[in-house]
Amino acid sequence: MAIINKKILGSPAGKVGDVVFKNNRGTIYSSSKPAKYKKTKSVPLIKNRKTFTQRAGFCKFLIKSKLIKNIWNYSDLPGFYPYHRIFKYNYKYITINDISDQASILPENFSIRFSNFYISDNSFSYDFLPSQQFIEKMNGTLVFVAFLYMNTPVDTGSEKKDCMILLVKEAPGYIIVPDQYNHFEFSYDDSPFSVVNNFQKVMAFPAIISINEGNKYEWCSGKCEYIKGTKPQPAPEAPQQNTQTKTPYNSIIIK
């Protein structure tokens, strides 16, 4: 990769032959045009490509939220960009078959207990137990977060194999009651959660973010909860027979 600092003829953009020019915060980068994958019948190679696609989709989806992107950028983790940090952090938890319940939507910081997850067509809610550490650190504007991952369609013939929903809701003035369970609900009028009925397995990853003075972040997360279905037992993977790319559900971020 090259970096162009002096732009005598102006700022290059687009593609010239096999060279692609990109602008990142005023700096022009050039790189080779990505090579197209050749068709293959190799089962291991097909599996690797699908696993990479699954990981890349998860990471790209999360950074659609500016707040979550900023937190990964704020964290001191390997990787120059938030996308690379999420990818490396979750590398072993996302495979061709599933997003593991060990995956993380935020970098490790501190954990609290979440419980009583509930979902209907137009609402999703959970309870959380604020620890003393929570009270001390989360002293700014609270933002409640939940990542919902759905797979295993009820209709086994469906080409739409999974769906992701990211809930991000700021709650200025939210009053925390220490040492007991507090409740928060994401509610909407247009029934965005009705899609849950189309899947046998629904996983929820809860988190809370605090935007403190000076736009500094603190955050906590909880264990993944299976709202529908149960955690699968490890099993040998069957050879992939159908290599045709399936069309996923349109993933959405709800604010």
DSSP assignment of 158-202 equals: -S--EEEEEEEEEETTPPP-TTS-EEEEEE-SS-GGGGGGGEEEE
Per-residue pLDDT, 4:
55
**In the predicted structure, residue 253 carries a pLDDT above the cut 70:** no
Per-residue pLDDT, 199:
94
Instruction: Name the burial class of residue 13, with classes exposed (0-12), middle (13-18) and buried (19+) by CB atoms within 10 angstroms of its CB.
Output: exposed
Contacts 24+ apart (CB under 8 A), 250-253: 251/61, 251/163, 251/164, 251/165, 251/166, 252/165, 252/166, 252/192, 253/64, 253/65, 253/165, 253/166, 253/168
- Integer Cα distance of 137 and 212 in angstroms: 9
> Tokens 């732009």 sit at which residue?
7
Residue 99: name the closest of 248, 253, 255 by CA: 248
**In the predicted structure, residue 180 carries a pLDDT above the cut 90:** yes
Tens of pLDDT along 11-47? 677 776 667 777 766 666 666 666 665 676 666 676 7
Tens of pLDDT along 75-133? 888 888 899 999 999 999 988 778 899 999 999 999 999 999 999 999 999 999 999 99
The count of C-alpha atoms lying within 13 angstroms of the C-alpha of 246, restricted to the half-sphere facing its C-beta, is 15
Domains in the chain: ranges and CATH: 43-232+245-254 (2.60.40.10)
Per-residue pLDDT, 237:
58
H/E segment holding residue 49: helix 43-62
Lowest mean pLDDT among 56-60, 77-81, 94-98, 208-212: 94-98
Question: What share of the chain has pLDDT > 70, as a percent?
Answer: 76
What pTM was computed for the model? Answer: 0.75
Per-residue pLDDT, 10:
62
**In the predicted structure, residue 7 carries a pLDDT above the cut 60:** no
**In the predicted structure, residue 155 carries a pLDDT above the cut 60:** yes
Per-residue pLDDT, 235:
54
Contacts 24+ apart (CB under 8 A), 2-7: 2/29, 2/30, 2/31, 3/27, 3/28, 3/29, 3/30, 4/28, 4/29, 4/30
**In the predicted structure, residue 8 carries a pLDDT above the cut 60:** no
**In the predicted structure, residue 255 carries a pLDDT above the cut 70:** no
**In the predicted structure, residue 219 carries a pLDDT above the cut 70:** yes
